[in-house]
Amino acid sequence: MFRILAVVVASISIGASAVPALSQANDPYIFDLNSPQLDVRASLGDNTDNEFLKYGYPGPVSDFLLRSRYATSFNRALRNPNWVAEHLTLANLNGTADRSNADFKEDKDIPAMFRAHLKDYYRSGFDRGHMCPAADAKKDDQAMKETFLLTNMAPQVGVGFNRNYWAYLEAFVRDLTTSFDDVYCISGPLYLPVQEDGKWYVKYQVIGNPPNVAVPTHFFKVVLVKQGSNFSLGAFALPNKAIDNSTPLADFDVPVETVEKAAGLVFFDKLERTSVTPLCSKIKCSFK
């Protein structure tokens, strides 16, 4: 989705990278959550009843997709999810589905011209990185297979990230279910600016032939846990590169607001933020 973002002068540190805070007006568009092939004009109501959009609303469209073990919003311009949301408990993590029975597949709920294709990843040098991990969907074969749809993927560095540090973070989130009744996790990509010659630029690779899928510079996980009536909230933002296994997870602990400004998203807005404790003050944010 193309958006106009205003860069604030002050920058905020995320891991080894400096990220300027961003601001964005609220998106006024409400989409029909029951149909990925939604009627955009109908969903916008009176917003299109004017002379300028007489013959159609051009977009942008974020496809909302509801699966067995996650929900996602897909970005047609970048061919990656905007975010993928999960709800984890000890009970719903149980199951015997085997990932060896699942294959990566293109998501036919997305129009072909806006879809990520299997050929885009072929010999790209990047892994198809899960946002909702396969290990979170052992419920049954259908749930497992849905995690292998490309609408749940984004290009990730393989060795040192997708196959290592990112996987450890996924396991960390799953392990929270042993200490809390409910764990809510929202994961997604970030495209963060870098400073060169005193100026800020957003630069990212695009894979595919022709170029089709954006390679995120960073990835985030925002985690909300609930125990009884008490909530704790934390956010982690990691660069899309090999990370040494000895790097403390706390190095990537950032304010939730940092991710919100960078992604143009608002997380868990039905909760009063002042009544929620920081996750890493409640537990030790580290890998076992």
Give φ, ψ of 106 to 5 degrees: -70, 150
Query: If we measure between CA atoms, which residue out of 99, 102, 111 comes closest to residue 74?
Result: 111
Catalytic residue list: 130
**Do the Cβ atoms of 236 and 249 come closer than 8 Å?**
yes
25 sits in which H/E element: none
Residue 80: exposure state from Cβ atoms within 10 A (0-12, 13-18, ≥19): buried
Distance CA 176, CA 184 (A): 10
Distance CA 153, CA 151 (A): 6
Q: How far is CA 126 from the centre of its chain?
A: 17
Which residues on adjacent β-strands are paired with residue 156?
127
**Do the Cβ atoms of 93 and 185 come closer than 8 Å?**
no
Copy the structure tokens of residue 32.
């029909």
CA atoms within 13 A on the CB side of 94: 3
Distance CA 234, CA 281 (A): 9
Measured CA distances, 72 to 142, 253, 261, 266 (Å): 16, 23, 19, 14
